[in-house]
Amino acid sequence: MTQDQTIQALSEETRTFAPPAEFTANANVTAEAYDRAAADRLGFWDDAAQRITWAEPYTEVLDWSDAPHSKWFVGGKLNAAYNCVDRHVENGLGDRVAYYFEGEGGDTRTITYKDLQDEVSRAANALLELGVKTGDRVAIYMPMIPETVFAMLACARIGAPHTVIFGGFSARAIADRVQDCGVEVVITADGGYRRGKPSPLKAVVDEAMESCPDVRTVLVVKRTGQDVDWTEGRDVWWSDVVDRQSEQHTPEAFDAEHPLYVMYSSGTTGKPKGILHTTGGYLVGTSYTHWAVFDIKPESDVYWTAADIGWVTGHSYIVYGPLANATTSIMYEGTPDTPHQGRWWEIIEKYKATILYCAPTAIRTFMKWGRQIPAKYDLSSLRLLGSVGEPINPEAWIWYRAHIGGDTTPVVDTWWQTENGQILISPLPGVTATKPGAAMRALPGIVADVYNDQGEPVGNGEGGYLVIKEPWPGMLRTLWGDDERFQHTYWDKYPGVYFAGDGAKRDQDGDIWVIGRVDDVMNVSGHRLSTTEIESALVSHDAVAEAAVVGAANETTGQSIEAFVILRESAKGGGQDIVDELRKHVRTEIGAIASPRSIMLVDELPKTRSGKIMRRLLRDIAENREPGDSTTLADSSVVARIQQEVSGA
Ligand code: 6R9
């Protein structure tokens, strides 16, 4: 579907689904929360902050005097790992399961809160022995295994901000992030299991380290047992240093604004942004929203966020939010079709999962595979479903509720971003009569709106830009090493108001429908990628003179990456070979997730008189549509020529 068709389909969507009465009767949050927060927003967050155990109390909920830099829970001190682990053990919950881990190959581990305390403490002691100090940044490049959580919490425990790099990124991408963040210690694994095979991680880190002379230690978890190269003096096995440590470690309390982590995310330029989250506000924001949006009953729920820890969804809703709430979670290492297409449903049946949170791209893939697959499993334990990462089309929403949710479970479509740290716009499952495809309204304590270009709120039935008008606890504090870009990207368009970069619509009832990015950020299978970043990768190849990349609408992946490339004269005539070569080059520069679906070789690109590439027209071509208005082009016949070239090819 094109964006216009999406908007059309969304505006024709009129079905609503009220929460089941029984769900409402037992829900954690009632409609009153909206009134309470509207009457006294900071008082509301003050209440929410009581979910956290503070080593020293804060004196002020919010200091916004240096806007857009916020300080939340000013003067408060806490330890994130203590809040996620130790306090639950102290409260007698040591035997509660924190994670049911399911390896792709079928190996399993059950990790209780007491196990987690021991593992995290040992890992923290190991990091201290390796010379990691409070404030040092540690990079983590890992598969989806329990040690990834141990490593993150060990960092948090000693106040060393982590930067987790998604396992699909290339050596170059790792090196960029490690350098930008000033990392000296990297934690990785020999490899992880992907589609039934061990896939290397350590080898990718080795390659990255060639351009990271400041990294002195690489700590390696043995997961697959595959062969690895070894750099003496730099590389150490996790089993050699962590396992022999004491499981006693006293967590130190850090300032509420102490950095917890940096997560790199694609922006509109070639350089990824290091989004900085701090401790107190982030924990309050994630634990409150996890409890409210997923209606978490920690004593009985088995909760599953089927995402990767390498993305923000994993940070907030596999690690920090669920653990702060003493939840039992499922963690799955592999892909949904290994060894068969019913793998997720088998896992839900096995652990009697009650809540599933995943991306629309997964749901659309399951739709394609057919409803007969989930129908073979007992999914009756599920009581709530969530969606995140991209707009969910009404058909996928309905299918999800019907074939996974047994036609009864509420579905919460949750809108938020890496920058936000926590869910901001979402139904409340016991309160909201949901509409398929709508994130509905801002959560209690959050003030969202849709603005037109002039910065005025749009009326019902109108579209515009999504904005957040008041600060929230889990918000990013700045961009690592680039405060100017922080100001410019989010706060300059509408002074004092957070500009999300998403288009949105208010329907006749005033409910919010998020349409998707309005900038050069693409959303491919729920992964955030920048067109510019991929263009830069392409032009860094000797054969390429110029490149333009667009995200075209795609039924399964939401968007697909379509590249238009002008070759240098010397490289012309290479045919399919050069296309394969360029695709490989993008994999090397960024990673497999950024590999274009198609690379079209063209002789020219549509440009305005000021030299700007008109990607809108390229998108029209990629989506097989009659190109829109091209009157601002320097040469309006270019589009027709490109169309000819593309259809000829
Ligand atoms: C959590 C996460 C953020 C971008 C965001 C928007 C899109 C996320 C959405 C959604 C429509 C939803 N997005 N959730 N669009 N409806 N429920 O995904 O963070 O990777 O930073 O992506 O994803 O376009 O701006 P991140």
Tens digits of residue pLDDT in 600-649 = 999 888 887 666 678 888 999 999 888 877 766 777 788 888 888 887 75
CA distance 568 to 113: 59
Label the pairing between strands 498-506 and 463-468.
Answer: antiparallel
Q: Does residue 576 have a pLDDT over 90?
A: no
pLDDT of the residue at 235: 98
Ligand 1 atom 22, closest CA: 417
pLDDT more than 70, % of the chain: 97
State the Cα angle at 175 between 170 and 178, rounded to 5°: 125
Among 3, 416, 465, 559, residue to substitute to test ligand 1 (most atoms within 8 Å of Cβ):
416
C-alpha 395 to ligand 1 mean position (Å): 19
pLDDT of the residue at 12: 65
Residue 210, SS3 per DSSP: coil
Mean per-residue pLDDT for 242-265? 97
CA distance 431 to 565: 50
Among 385, 417, 531, 559, residue to substitute to test ligand 1 (most atoms within 8 Å of Cβ):
417
Does the C-beta of 530 come closer than 6 Å to ligand 1? no
Q: 3-state SS string over 411-462?
A: EEEEECCCCCCCCCECCCCCCCCECCCCCECECCCCCEEEECCCCCECCCCC
Q: Does residue 211 have a pLDDT over 80?
A: yes
* Token pair for 586: 């993008």
pTM summary value: 0.90
Q: What is the pLDDT of residues 107-130, one digit of tens each?
A: 999 999 999 999 999 999 999 999
Ligand 1 atom 20, closest CA: 528
Sequence ranges of the binding site for Mg(2+): 539, 541, 544
C-alpha 356 to ligand 1 mean position (Å): 17
pLDDT of the residue at 604: 87
Task: Tell me the C-alpha to C-alpha distance, in Å, between residue 365 and each of 241, 337, 342, 584.
Answer: 42, 10, 12, 25
Residues sharing a CB contact under 8 Å with residue 449, sequence separation 6 or more, in sequence order: 457, 466, 467, 468, 469
* Token pair for 313: 């969804």
| Class in CATH terms, 525-648 | alpha beta
Q: Is 25 exposed, middle or buried (0-12, 13-18, 19+ CB in 10 A)?
A: exposed
Q: Where do the domains of the chain lie?
A: 525-648
Q: What amino acid is encoded at 520 in this protein?
A: D
pLDDT of the residue at 6: 60
Task: Tell me the C-alpha to C-alpha distance, in Å, between residue 597 and each of 27, 282, 469, 533.
Answer: 44, 36, 38, 16
Q: Does residue 2 have a pLDDT over 60?
A: no
- Number of the ligand 1 atom closest to the C-alpha atom of 311: 20
C-alpha 648 to ligand 1 mean position (Å): 36
pLDDT of the residue at 639: 86
C-alpha 527 to ligand 1 mean position (Å): 9
CA distance 284 to 47: 10
CA distance 497 to 100: 41
> 620: closest CA among 579, 562, 536?
562
pLDDT of the residue at 323: 98
pLDDT of the residue at 373: 97
CA distance 410 to 385: 6
CA distance 541 to 531: 16
Q: Does residue 300 have a pLDDT over 70?
A: yes
Phi, psi of 262 (to 5 degrees): -120, 130
For 172, what's the count of Cα atoms within 13 Å in the CB-facing half-sphere? 16
CA distance 233 to 244: 19
- Number of the ligand 1 atom closest to the C-alpha atom of 526: 18
Please compute Rg for the chain using Cα positions: 24
C-alpha 407 to ligand 1 mean position (Å): 26
- Number of the ligand 1 atom closest to the C-alpha atom of 392: 16
Q: Does residue 433 have a pLDDT over 90?
A: yes
Residue 531, SS3 per DSSP: helix
Which of the two residues, 27 and 527, has the higher pLDDT score? 27
Are the C-beta atoms of residues 453 and 244 closer than 8 Å to each other? no
Sequence ranges of the binding site for ATP: 389-391, 413-418, 502, 517, 528
Ligand 1 atom 16, closest CA: 391
Are the C-beta atoms of residues 363 and 392 closer than 8 Å to each other? yes
Q: What is the pLDDT of residues 395-428, one digit of tens each?
A: 899 999 999 999 999 999 999 999 999 999 999 9
Among 286, 293, 308, 528, residue to substitute to test ligand 1 (most atoms within 8 Å of Cβ):
528
Residues sharing a CB contact under 8 Å with residue 583, sequence separation 6 or more, in sequence order: 595, 596, 599
C-alpha 499 to ligand 1 mean position (Å): 14
> 447: closest CA among 88, 34, 157?
34
pLDDT of the residue at 607: 80
Q: What is the pLDDT of residues 322-340, one digit of tens each?
A: 999 999 999 999 999 999 9
Phi, psi of 500 (to 5 degrees): -85, -20
Does the C-beta of 417 come closer than 6 Å to ligand 1? yes
Does the C-beta of 86 come closer than 6 Å to ligand 1? no
Does the C-beta of 286 come closer than 6 Å to ligand 1? no
* Token pair for 567: 């070759």
Does the C-beta of 316 come closer than 6 Å to ligand 1? no
Are the C-beta atoms of residues 580 and 565 closer than 8 Å to each other? no
